[in-house]
A and B are shown apart, each in its own frame.
Chain A
Amino acid sequence: VTYKWLSFTLGVHVNQAKQMLYDYVERKRKENSGAQLHVTYLVAGNLLQNGHVCHKVAVVREDKLEAMKSKLSTIASVHVYSIQKALLKDSSPLYNTDYDIVKTNLQHCSKFSAIRCAAAVPRTPPDAPRAPASAQSPQRQRDPDAAGAVNGHGPPAAKAPPPQHKGIMGMFAAKAAAKHQDAHKEAKAEAKEAPGVSAASSKPPTKNNIMNNFFGKAAMNKLKVSSVPEQPKEEKEVVKPSVAVAEPESSPNTVAEKPGKKTESARIQQKDKKSKTKRADRSDDEEERDPENVKRKRKRIKQLQSDSSDEEDVPRSPTPEEERAPSPPPVPALKTELEPASTEGSAGGRKRKRKRVLKSKMFIDEEEGCMGKTG
């Protein structure tokens, strides 16, 4: 049993695993239960060798531990490497154990390590869905330059979700506030990948303020249905909404593909977790939609006008996308890209479109991943 094996099997930080091993050894020895435990230690420190100071890292058996420690001029660290019942002749079983356990966990081998690298994010594949690989990125912090490409895709996708999130918050405020808060805290505390509604819902609060400028209340209640699938997608991209607006747009094609892919992958991944919340979503949605419809209609027109005026001022693709976002429901950004021109058109058409799309959105969710038609 090596510390790495323990760490992966129990899902704990490597340092904790080392401490656990030590604790175990101490307790067993105190109990004196008769079973002989052989312990190997890792010793690291400075050693004077060939005239220069050399840093040595060695795995040693317990009986050689003191000898090694005395050889080192300064000791940098000592901890338990492994425990076994039999006396080891050489270190190859240790290596084999470690090798096996790392092999089975190759993608997250850094999950329990003490160092996190912000720059190590999987490259976005140019085509072909490598959704599982990209979705499994263990790192949550992103380095600006590494995530530069991601950021470019982030904004358009982010703009679609925010209105929906506001919908969630609006709808669930009373019921699920507590649940979200807990989940939110959980997500923060873990600092590991925590896919699911909980993590995503921690984002809406931040989005709300910024998106308020662009979308009125009307936009809020629209797409809760698709909000759920959007959450995981959005959660995967560390979105900075304020940056989103200012972000230079990336080419529509790539953007279209990627968020679409992420949505799919996210959806596929989050299927189970989503199902319950989705059902809740939908039922709520249907109840509330009719009374809201009338209100929405009115607000929609007003907003369209304001949006179009905004559009003229800042003729950039991000803004058309933003506007599109409220109207075509969650349409995975794929749709938003495909119709930059169409949605900027008639206000009336939008209303109609929206209602239509809303209904069809339901199908999308049910069918899990089949792309909708209109919009």
Chain B
Amino acid sequence: MFSEQAAPTAQGLLAPPSAEPPTFPRVPVSGYSDCSQPFQLGERSFSRQYAHIYAVRLAGMRPGLERRARSRWGSDIALRKLSELQAGEKCCVVGTLFKAMQLQPSILQEISEEHNLVPQPPLPKYIQPSDELILEDELQRIKLEGAIDVQRLVTGTILAVYGAEQDDGRFLVEDHCFADLPPPLPWNGPSSDRFVLLASGLGLGSVSGEALLSTQLLVDVVTGQLGAEGEQSCAAHITRVILAGNLLSQNTQSRDTINKAKYLTKKTQAASVEAVKMLDEILLQLCISVPVDVMPGEFDPTNYTLPQQPLHRCMLPLASAYATLRLVTNPYQANLDGVRFLGTSGQNISDIFKYSSMDDYLEILEWTLLAGHISPTAPDTLGCYPFYKSDPFILTECPHVYFCGNAPHFQSKLLQGKEGQRVLLVTVPDFSATQTACLVNLRDLTCQPITFSGFGADSED
């Protein structure tokens, strides 16, 4: 998208100095509103049990699912609760899915020292052929079998199954359905080209510095220092930069200092301190020129449980002096110029990846949208705050752009829904590994990856 407009003046700067070069004003943000209030936690109390969140989730999604079930299998089907089931009767049940996995890391196994068990090492995937699906509702649970893909589904999904109860107490499933795409939001997109840059996984503080030049190039392109005039004027159309998590690298997470004796670690700082300082400088360069939204990620200094609260302002003293810096929650939802963005830093998708046979991040992303829930595996395998009033991860409105950060590659897809929803699904790649960020064009909901590279000793670009 840059290139077409920029091509004419591409070689313009291969010339002797000209007169006063043009400066382009940044396209102003016309409509921005932050919609991530449900993800912001006020006072947090962990004294509640997690069962409430499932109850709330089921209660919240039940009406929608019942509607979907009726529209799919006929409006006269019987909707039953598990306690009302009669053997052999075809009916539809709405409930929460639970997948019993043998390999699932369990805290109880770790504690059982008398068995002398070595704690299970983290595996990329925990699925096994012997996993079983169980449907639970408010009062009972029942094993599922039949036309349902055990490997693919994960715990915590709310779905409706259609079938009959067998004599042996299992439920034979003939068909199942999810909540499907939520109702669409009106489209108020801009009429001219506006871009939003999505990047994630900057990975500062890592030992290797290869990505640093690429990061600097990214900042330069966005702030308009790099590129010929055509490209700079295109870069002026970038209205926002969203950094989706993992600003610090995994290396900053080392907690060896806790194990060492105090006198050895007195003078050492946590690696994250240096990394945050670097982050501050980079953010300052960006903030002077463009509004930035910073989402925390898995390795960032904020709470571990979802929804992650924004990074604290005092960690970024230089950059937070500017009003263009916004520290936001993970997941993050906002209206940019009439386009609704919703996204996470990738923890939910990677968690589903571990417990499901789905391998493609984009596929998982689409599936969460169809299932109507951002992160069904929370709180089972992903840390989550014990909500009890309502589950903020339920998708009630269909966003226009749905993204997840820290994916292994860049992928994007425009999904069309039955009720006229148009969603752009984007998996934002990990910048420290791929040096790629994404540019989303708000006008027509297209996305383009943008790669940066320097040159190494043996690279033959």
A positions within 8 Å CB-CB of B: 3-4, 7, 13-16, 18-20, 22-23, 26, 40, 42, 44-47, 49-50, 52-61, 64, 67-68, 71, 74-80, 88-92, 94-95, 98-99, 102-103, 106-107, 109-110, 112-123, 125, 130, 133, 138-139, 141, 143, 146, 191
Interface centre among B10, B285, B456 (most CB of A within 10 A): B10
Tell whether, in the assembled complex, residue A78 and residue B10 are in contact, meaning their CB atoms are under 8 Å apart. yes
Tell whether, in the assembled complex, residue A120 and residue B287 are in contact, meaning their CB atoms are under 8 Å apart. yes
Within the complex, what minimum Cβ distance (angstroms) separates A189 from chain B?
Answer: 9
Residue B56 CB within 8 A of the other chain? no
Tell whether, in the assembled complex, residue B226 and residue A42 are in contact, meaning their CB atoms are under 8 Å apart. yes
For B451, list chain A residues within 8 Å (CB).
Answer: 47, 49, 54-58
Tell whether, in the assembled complex, residue B285 and residue A122 are in contact, meaning their CB atoms are under 8 Å apart. no
With contacts A18-B13, A78-B11, A117-B324 taken as known, whether A143 is within 8 angstroms of B28 at the C-beta atoms is yes
Residue B209 CB within 8 A of the other chain? yes
A46–B1 CA distance with the chains assembled, in angstroms:
9
Residue B41 CB within 8 A of the other chain? no
Tell whether, in the assembled complex, residue B323 and residue A109 are in contact, meaning their CB atoms are under 8 Å apart. no
Please pick, from B13, B229, B284, B436, the residue contacting A80 in the complex, using a CB distance under 8 A.
B13
For A79, list chain B residues within 8 Å (CB).
Answer: 13-14, 227-228
With contacts A90-B454, A91-B455 taken as known, whether A74 is within 8 angstroms of B323 at the C-beta atoms is no
Chain B's closest residue to A110 (CB) is B288
Tell whether, in the assembled complex, residue B10 and residue A113 are in contact, meaning their CB atoms are under 8 Å apart. no
For B322, list chain A residues within 8 Å (CB).
Answer: 120-123
With contacts A54-B451, A120-B323 taken as known, whether A92 is within 8 angstroms of B285 at the C-beta atoms is no
* A-B residue pairs in contact (CB < 8 Å), sample of 17: A14-B224, A22-B16, A26-B16, A49-B449, A55-B3, A55-B449, A58-B453, A74-B3, A74-B4, A78-B10, A78-B11, A78-B14, A106-B284, A115-B25, A115-B289, A120-B288, A120-B291
For B12, list chain A residues within 8 Å (CB).
Answer: 77
A134–B217 CA distance with the chains assembled, in angstroms:
28
Residue B416 CB within 8 A of the other chain? no
For B11, list chain A residues within 8 Å (CB).
Answer: 78
A57–B216 CA distance with the chains assembled, in angstroms:
12
For B452, list chain A residues within 8 Å (CB).
Answer: 56-58
Within the complex, what minimum Cβ distance (angstroms) separates B181 from chain A?
Answer: 24
For B3, list chain A residues within 8 Å (CB).
Answer: 44-46, 55, 74-76
Binary interface encoding of chain B residues 24-59 relative to chain A, with 1 for a CB under 8 A from any of its CBs, else 0: 111011000000000000000000000000000000
Docked complex: B389-436 residues within 8 A CB-CB of A:
409, 412, 436
Tell whether, in the assembled complex, residue B221 and residue A115 are in contact, meaning their CB atoms are under 8 Å apart. no
Tell whether, in the assembled complex, residue B25 and residue A116 are in contact, meaning their CB atoms are under 8 Å apart. yes
For B285, list chain A residues within 8 Å (CB).
Answer: 102, 106, 109-110
For A42, list chain B residues within 8 Å (CB).
Answer: 226-227
Interface centre among A3, A106, A130 (most CB of B within 10 A): A106
Residue B213 CB within 8 A of the other chain? yes
Please pick, from A44, A80, A92, A117, the residue contacting B290 in the complex, using a CB distance under 8 A.
A117
Please pick, from A26, A58, A120, the residue contacting B454 in the complex, using a CB distance under 8 A.
A58
Tell whether, in the assembled complex, residue B461 and residue A22 are in contact, meaning their CB atoms are under 8 Å apart. no
For B272, list chain A residues within 8 Å (CB).
Answer: none
With contacts A76-B227, A76-B230 taken as known, whether A120 is within 8 angstroms of B289 at the C-beta atoms is yes
Tell whether, in the assembled complex, residue B453 and residue A114 are in contact, meaning their CB atoms are under 8 Å apart. no
Stretch at the interface among B121-129, B231-239, B340-348, B375-383: B231-239
Tell whether, in the assembled complex, residue A55 and residue B281 are in contact, meaning their CB atoms are under 8 Å apart. no
Within the complex, what minimum Cβ distance (angstroms) separates B75 from chain A?
Answer: 43
Tell whether, in the assembled complex, residue A15 and residue B2 are in contact, meaning their CB atoms are under 8 Å apart. no
Docked complex: B172-197 residues within 8 A CB-CB of A:
none
With contacts A67-B461, A109-B288, A121-B323 taken as known, whether A61 is within 8 angstroms of B455 at the C-beta atoms is yes
Docked complex: B206-254 residues within 8 A CB-CB of A:
209, 212-213, 216-217, 220-221, 223-236
